[in-house]
Structure 1
Amino acid sequence: MRTLTLFLFLFLILNMTSCATHVVTRPNAVTIIKTPPRHYTVVKVKGSKYYFWNGNHYRKTRSGYIYVKI
Structure 2
Amino acid sequence: MIVFVGCAMLLLGSSCVVHTRPAHTHAVVIKKAPRYHKVVVVKGKRYYTWGGKHYRKTNRGFVFVRI
Match in the other structure for 2:37: 40
Gaps of 5+ in 2: 1-21
1:55 aligns with 2:52: yes
Paired residue type of 1:62 = N
Q: What is the number of residues matched between the two proteins?
A: 46
What do you get for the CA RMSD once the two structures are aligned? 1.4
Identity of aligned residues (%): 46
1:66 aligns with 2:43: no
TM-score, normalised to structure 1, is 0.61
Q: Measure how far apart 1:28 and its partner are.
A: 3.1
Match in the other structure for 2:13: none
Gaps of 5+ in 1: 1-24
Structure 1 residues 68 and 27: CA distance shift in structure 2, 3 A: farther
TM-score, normalised to structure 2, is 0.64
Instruction: Tell me, in whole angstroms, the C-alpha distance in 2 between the residues paired with 1:45 and 1:62.
Output: 20
